[in-house]
Amino acid sequence: MHTIDLRSDTVTRPSDAMWQAMRAAPLGDDVLGDDPTVAQLEKHVANMLGKQAALFVPSGTMANQLAIRCHCESGDEIVAHGDSHIIHYETGAPAAISGCMIQPLSGAGGLFDAAAVIATRRKRDIHSPRPRLLVVENTHNRGGGTWWPLQQFENVAATARELSLAIHIDGARLWNACVAAGYAPRDFARQADSISVCFSKGLGCPVGSALVGTADFIDRARRFRKMFGGGMRQSGLLAAAALFALENNVARLAEDHAKAKRLASAAERIRGFSLSCPSQNTPSNMVFLHVDPARGTAQHIADGLSKHGILSLALDPQRLRLVTHGDVTADDIDTTIAALSRF
């Protein structure tokens, strides 16, 4: 049976052309600082985001946690949306690694405004943690793949500056946000002190993320990367995949967004399903379906789809997530719509 994997955009396989780029990459030892392909990738990503330097790391989680460790000290407070990736999917690392607590914000689709940031203001005295870092996720995963409007983020960033907060962008799917919203990566990153970006999601690479910031910040992060066990040797093999993806796979993300919109439009017309994140009308490559309890749970639907060779993710008891990516074809979308209709 042909498997249609809609669990995540992390499940993609390298294309033949990407494999060829990986095989042809000149290699060195990145821990010793002489892998030329890694150096090329880091320079390229830093330039794309308008920053001085970048650091290639194994995962988005490591990139985010390096940023937190570099910005914060033990006992500091991080301000982030309550549905953020750093809260739900990074195994308590802000507390375990950096000794930080998180003050959660609320807002539709994982977004919030300047007033919400102002409301986090604490009196500076010995009884309170020191608010140190604001984390913004773009696109926002649990928010439904929503992207930040540029002006809204600029307003939030300006308020954060007034409160002496550093700003980190969890940009695991920043490429999706830029394609969907129509702004350039450096335009969104301009207000941030650090940014993490992933290559192993919609861009189709097997492994890899990057952390971007000032040269001094990245020098500090490089030391912590080694401490965290993230130093890789001939990692130019993986960096070559990322370079290929940045050259060839960014604009293609619009195809994933179109497939997601078609799937969402059809699914919400099927009795028993509704869109659980309608704020931006399927903003990127994620479809979140609310399952009517009369039809069972999200896990019940996921189990039923799997019998037809369709893999999905029950994110919550009544919420099903389906993610489009480069390995999902138009015919796969038709097959998925037909399978959902059977319920």
Domain boundaries, the chain: 16-248, 252-341
Whole-number pLDDT of residue 280: 61
Residue where the block lists tokens 């990986």: 22
Q: How far is CA 189 from CA 35, 62, 177, 211, 312, in A?
A: 27, 19, 12, 12, 32
Phi, psi for 304 (deg, rounded to 5): -65, -40
- Please state whether the predicted TM-score (pTM) of the whole model is above 0.85: yes
**Cβ(170)–Cβ(197) under 8 Å?**
no
Alpha carbon 156 to its chain centroid, in Å, reads 19
Q: How far is CA 18 from CA 179, 279, 300, in A?
A: 21, 36, 37
Tell me 292's DSSP state.
P
- The CB density around residue 340, as the number of other CB atoms within 10 Å, is 23
Rounded-to-integer distance, Cα 199 and Cα 228, Å: 20
**Cβ(298)–Cβ(316) under 8 Å?**
yes
Whole-number pLDDT of residue 278: 57
- The CB density around residue 198, as the number of other CB atoms within 10 Å, is 26
DSSP 47-68: HHTT-SEEEEES-HHHHHHHHH
Nearest to 8 by CA among 264, 282, 250, 326: 326
Ordered per-residue pLDDT tens for the chain, 343 residues: 799 999 999 999 999 999 999 999 999 999 999 999 999 999 999 999 999 999 999 999 999 999 999 999 999 999 999 999 999 999 999 999 999 999 999 999 999 999 999 999 988 888 899 999 999 999 999 999 999 999 999 999 999 999 999 999 999 999 999 999 999 999 999 999 999 999 999 999 999 999 999 999 999 999 999 999 999 999 999 999 999 999 999 999 999 999 999 999 999 999 999 998 755 678 999 999 999 999 999 999 999 999 999 999 999 999 999 999 999 999 999 999 999 998 7
Sequence-ordered list of residues with C-beta below 8 angstroms from that of 202, at least 6 positions apart, any chain: 9, 12, 173, 175, 176, 249, 253, 256, 285, 325, 326
CATH number of the domain located at residue range(s) 16-248 in this protein: 3.40.640.10
Whole-number pLDDT of residue 279: 55
Nearest to 244 by CA among 293, 198, 204, 277: 204
Whole-number pLDDT of residue 281: 77
Q: What's the chain's Rg over C-alpha atoms?
A: 20
CATH number among 3.40.630.30, 3.40.640.10, 3.40.50.300, 3.90.1150.10, domain 252-341: 3.90.1150.10
